Amino acid sequence: MSLLAIMLNAAMNTSDGYSDFLATKRIVSLASGIEINPSQISQVLYDFQQDIVRWALHRGRAAVFADCGLGKTLIQLEWAGHVGGRVLIVAPLSVNEQTVREGKKLGLEVKNVRDKSDVTDGISITNYEMMRHFIGCPLDGIVLDESSILKSIDGKIRKLLLEHFADIPMRLCCTATPCPNDIAEIANHSQFLGIMQRVEMLASFFVHDQDGWRLRGHAYKPFYRWLASWAMALKNPADLGYDGSRFFLPPLTIHDEIVPTEWRRPGHLFPGGLHGITDRIAVRRTSVDDRVEAAADIANRASGQVIVWCGLNQESDAVSDAIADSENLQGNDESEKKIAIIRRFLSGETRVLVTKPKIAGFGMNFQNASTMIFMGLSDSWESYYQCIRRCWRYGQTQPVNVHIVVTDHEEEIVDNVRRKEVEGEKLSSEIIASAKEYEMEELGKMRHQEVCDSKEFSGDGWNLYQGDCVDEMKRLDDDSIDLSVFSPPFLALYTYSATERDLGNCRNQESFFDHFRFVIDDLMRVTKPGRLCCVHVAQVPTTLVNHGVIGIKDFRGQTISEFIDRDWIYHGEVVIDKDPQAQAIRTHSKGLLFVQLKKDASWLRPAMADYILVFRKPGENAVPIHPDISNDQWIEWARPIWYGIRESDTLNAAEARSDEDDRHVCPLQLGTIERVVRLWSNRGDTVLSPFAGIGSEGYVSIQQGRKFVGIELKPLYARTAIRNLRTARAQLDSQLSLFRQ
């Protein structure tokens, strides 16, 4: 069965329209590619490579984040061969010749091109520096080899790629595994592939605080599920359930070669304490001779082939002169010369290759060498890692020895890179582990099942259902509820939970109301004719970061429209007064700040009120409601604005907060609930809250002599609600006991 068929079957195997809808809420990349039969894939590829090629072709726009030596070049070539038409591979210059050779293994001709006029049907390859010559070239597919370059290349080339090459129908990016906290790399890949813009990605999964952007607590799983829908990340085939026994790495040994120097910063007696790039260049230039001597000694004594990584032209010139049988590959060499030097090194004609990380540190397969020497280090862990992985990669048969030749001043730089190395390895392993389940699902090796933990709890006068309110309301009889009062979770992705069943987990207002309609319909079914549903809402502010404009969405107005469209009668509304100063302190809204009063009052706006929207189910009310309130209370509560509701008059929400929460739960004020319950229900009536939270509506209902039915999706909130309901019942029993005495 094809991968597409597996996905279609999974989508069709749902119990009802609600299950189908929930599937649409998953934030994933939609497939836009082509389907091919497994037999069409070259058998030169390993099984995991074949499946990744088919998946990437199906996706149409995808990324392969695979560790060095896992065959990304073969994957991208096989992918390009099936795309058909004109496909352009863009790679670091030093990789071009290697890619051409790999193509021959698959029976594919790969043509080196320098201008769009050279591009014909088939697979062409060029380098990033030549991209401006291909603007406007009609292409059916494009591959970015070593695509991590997207985050580090200068702004002109990145802008060029995004503006002129991000609308090609079929797109593939290939690079090593990024770190989960490397927002720039993931965002740039997503944007180039047309998956999601950086602003949208940040708004969907991240929150900004004093430490910068970080993944939201409840967004952890949705983020990796989204990432896995367009990117395959692996360090070993075993990560995705394949046989990884053929992929092992030989021993790697790092040797620190410390060269003492007499150079000191002015006023310093001891080495170290370098300040900025100026000091680093000074110590490197004054120590060239000593470091060259140490590096040459290591290279000349080494058995087999050697790579020497340099940072300065002065270093590469001097060390190549000092090492027998070496060639110096430089950035200003002509392309033909670079290719010839690399070819001689790969064939064994040249024993020692001297070059810089930015020239040959990405994408090359140098398993022929097992010794490398760094003539100093920069602070870039990625550069250090990539250089080492040119030799220490799958396919290497010899132990790899890496010598770090630095001065005594630069030991702190080495320590810094080592720290980044440990962090980088931990984080890249994290992305593999976190995305594994979803990647295997993408490859058809697992099937996603959204499981909702459904439980029922009860006490004297109350029932609480832990689960999805759309499912749990099916338990309730028709025409069984006297009054509903609740505050739905507003638009705030992954604030309360990670599941698609959470009403708040919607990317936009349209998706929110698509979900809310299921709730509105069930509320109509369970409510008694002529009785009321009271919905607490507030307007939704927009921000420049998330929406591109500072303003307000008319959430209140659309809520009214949706209830009317579902045959409810719009009965009325109450505005709840809010303190503008307290709101300004809490939200830091530009429209409420004193500074705007002096700076530009065009930005000022009134504080945002809360609303209780009241809807009535059509039909005659069989049992009249007789509120236990006085005429004076009615005069106060009949006003269109309710004053005197204290914002702090809530149940304690702290005990319901988890480590994953990025925002405090905001329970509805008890005074608001009391007015609603006393005004529009009788003692002994049943009150429903489909979004019970920590049980505020139930707490008040029980205290006012009503029965309560609540539904809450989040287990922690449900447990807190149970405690509050029991407390309310105990307080009521105590009051009744005192009254009887």
> For residue 704, what is the enclosing H or E element?
none
Question: Helices in 206-330 by DSSP H: which ranges?
Answer: 220-228, 276-286, 288-301, 313-322
Last residue of a domain, one of 667, 686, 705: 686
What per-residue confidence (pLDDT) applies to 345?
94
Per-residue pLDDT at 429 exceeds 50: yes
Q: What percent of the chain has pLDDT over 90?
A: 53
| Range with the largest mean pLDDT of 202-216, 233-247, 486-500, 583-597 | 233-247
Rounded Cα–Cα distance for residues 550 and 209 (Å): 19
What per-residue confidence (pLDDT) applies to 399?
95
User: Both 299 and 166 in a single domain?
Assistant: no
In a domain, 346, yes or no: yes
Cα 495 from chain centroid (whole Å) = 15
What per-residue confidence (pLDDT) applies to 545?
65
Those residues whose C-beta lies under 8 Å from the C-beta of residue 198, and which sit 6 or more positions away, are: 187, 188, 190, 191
Last residue of a domain, one of 184, 206, 240: 240
User: Both 234 and 264 in a single domain?
Assistant: no
In a domain, 605, yes or no: yes
The number of residues making up the chain comes to: 741
| Range with the largest mean pLDDT of 275-284, 406-415, 553-562 | 553-562
Band the pLDDT of 710: cuts 50, 70, 90: very high
DSSP 678: H
User: Both 268 and 314 in a single domain?
Assistant: yes
How far is residue 508 from each of residues 27, 319, 488, 712, measured CA to CA in Å? 12, 60, 15, 22
User: Both 269 and 348 in a single domain?
Assistant: yes
How far is residue 451 from each of residues 137, 279, 532, 625, measured CA to CA in Å? 48, 59, 33, 41
Averaged pLDDT, 339-365: 91
Measured at the CA of 13, the angle between CA 11 and CA 16, to 5 degrees, comes to 95
Cα 90 from chain centroid (whole Å) = 26
Residue 624 carries which side chain, given as an amino acid letter? P
User: Both 99 and 160 in a single domain?
Assistant: yes
pLDDT in tens, 579-606: 888 887 777 788 888 888 888 888 888 8
User: Both 433 and 485 in a single domain?
Assistant: no
User: Both 235 and 274 in a single domain?
Assistant: no
User: Both 178 and 273 in a single domain?
Assistant: no
Quick one: CA torsion of 540, 545, 546, 552, rounded to 10 degrees? 20
| Nearest-10 crossing angle of helices 313-322, 288-301 | 40
User: Both 413 and 487 in a single domain?
Assistant: no
User: Both 486 and 433 in a single domain?
Assistant: no
Domain span holding position 356: 252-439
User: Both 256 and 404 in a single domain?
Assistant: yes
Per-residue pLDDT at 330 exceeds 50: yes
Alpha carbon distance, N-terminus to C-terminus of the chain? 76
Instruction: Tell me the HSE value of 616 on the side-chain side, using a 13 A CA sphere.
Output: 13
In a domain, 700, yes or no: no
What per-residue confidence (pLDDT) applies to 6?
38
This model's pTM is above 0.85: no
Residue 678 sits in a domain whose CATH number is 3.40.50.150
Rounded Cα–Cα distance for residues 572 and 154 (Å): 59
In a domain, 297, yes or no: yes
Q: What is the mean pLDDT of the chain?
A: 87
Per-residue pLDDT at 280 exceeds 80: no
Rounded Cα–Cα distance for residues 552 and 605 (Å): 10
In a domain, 542, yes or no: yes
Band the pLDDT of 477: cuts 50, 70, 90: very high
Residue 140 sits in a domain whose CATH number is 3.40.50.300
Give the number of domains in the chain: 3
What per-residue confidence (pLDDT) applies to 331?
85
DSSP E strands in 218-272: the ranges are: 231-234, 252-259
Residue 70: left (phi > 0), alpha (psi -120 to 50), or beta? alpha
In a domain, 447, yes or no: no
Per-residue pLDDT at 352 exceeds 80: yes
What HEC string does 416-438 produce? HHHHHHHHHHHHHHHHHHHHHHH
In a domain, 200, yes or no: no
User: Both 273 and 420 in a single domain?
Assistant: yes
Those residues whose C-beta lies under 8 Å from the C-beta of residue 401, and which sit 6 or more positions away, are: 253, 255, 302, 370, 371, 372
Q: Which residues pair with 689 in a beta bridge?
A: 710
How far is residue 47 from each of residues 51, 236, 398, 425, measured CA to CA in Å? 6, 13, 26, 26
In a domain, 405, yes or no: yes
Last residue of a domain, one of 216, 240, 264: 240
